[in-house]
Copies of this chain bind each other. A is one copy, B any other.
């Protein structure tokens, strides 16, 4: 039976076309593609790497979890060191460990947390300019926190997604949204059981519109009843978004 190997990854998504490799062509510059190319050299096997979620082009990860199946005899330490020797400097493997066969980085996940970072217009941090949204207007964090209460819970998030038609359920649960007003940026931390395509970026754009006074606090949930993308806010740009944490129930580990 093949071994099931889990990795915790960190990456700067700036120069990548997102997580997901499309087909077998290796010229697409995706995070998944980089990892699979190195695994192929390392093991001689054609290995598919399963990520906990597909980050979009330009989106970063403080903590992405992935797993893959292999026959290799290499130890987890050896796998980590091989990766670190061949990965470009904007992708890092933080840890490698062996997990039970039933572990699946996407299907087993019980919660995911995304962090969205918005620079304060009066004192943007030059060293964070590629990792924040430089939104030009003053935002009121209290209004954003108030608005976020309308979004927490089990809802149909179809209006908060860029996918036009899907047969799959668009119902998700958001466990919490925290607005963190820091000295030089405002952070939005969203924890939920799953997220649709562009959902965190549209939630962010909607909260930012409320925080800037461009829409009323209670209007942020208009798209729950209409299910219409037009009733939600703008899509925030990718560079402020980070996959920050992926949680698993103890029984899969």
The interface bits of chain A over 59-79 (1 if a CB of B lies within 8 angstroms of the residue's CB, else 0) are: 010000000000000000000
In the complex, which residue of chain B has the Cβ closest to the Cβ of A124? B92
Please measure, in the bound complex, the distance between the C-alpha atom of A60 and the C-alpha atom of B131, giving whole angstroms.
18
Whole-angstrom distance from the CB of A245 to the nearest CB of chain B? 16
Whole-angstrom distance from the CB of A147 to the nearest CB of chain B? 28
| Count of chain A residues near B, Cβ 8 A | 17
Please measure, in the bound complex, the distance between the C-alpha atom of A134 and the C-alpha atom of B134, giving whole angstroms.
29
Say yes or no: A90 contacts B12, CB within 8 Å. Answer: no
Would you call A50 an interface residue if the criterion is a C-beta within 8 Å of the partner chain's C-beta atoms? Answer: no
Chain A residues 87 to 129 lying within 8 A of chain B, measured CB to CB, are 89-92, 94, 123-127, 129
Say yes or no: B94 contacts A129, CB within 8 Å. Answer: no
Whole-angstrom distance from the CB of A91 to the nearest CB of chain B? 7
Please measure, in the bound complex, the distance between the C-alpha atom of A124 and the C-alpha atom of B89, giving whole angstroms.
9
A125 neighbours in B (Cβ, 8 Å) = 10, 92
Whole-angstrom distance from the CB of A79 to the nearest CB of chain B? 15
A11 neighbours in B (Cβ, 8 Å) = 126
A60 neighbours in B (Cβ, 8 Å) = 127
Within 8 Å by CB of A89, from B10, B123, B126, lies B126
In the complex, which residue of chain B has the Cβ closest to the Cβ of A121? B84
Please measure, in the bound complex, the distance between the C-alpha atom of A213 and the C-alpha atom of B127, giving whole angstroms.
32
Say yes or no: A89 contacts B129, CB within 8 Å. Answer: yes
Please measure, in the bound complex, the distance between the C-alpha atom of A90 and the C-alpha atom of B89, giving whole angstroms.
21
Within 8 Å by CB of A129, from B90, B124, B129, lies B90
Say yes or no: A12 contacts B131, CB within 8 Å. Answer: no
Chain A residues 128 to 162 lying within 8 A of chain B, measured CB to CB, are 129, 131, 134
The interface bits of chain A over 3-15 (1 if a CB of B lies within 8 angstroms of the residue's CB, else 0) are: 0000000111000
21 pairs from A and B in contact (CB 8 Å cutoff): A10-B125, A10-B126, A10-B127, A11-B126, A12-B126, A12-B127, A12-B129, A60-B127, A89-B124, A89-B126, A89-B129, A89-B134, A90-B126, A90-B129, A91-B126, A92-B123, A92-B124, A92-B125, A92-B126, A94-B123, A127-B131
Q: A10-B127, A89-B129 are in contact. List 8 more A-B contacts (CB 8 A).
A: A10-B125, A12-B129, A60-B127, A89-B134, A90-B129, A92-B123, A92-B124, A92-B126
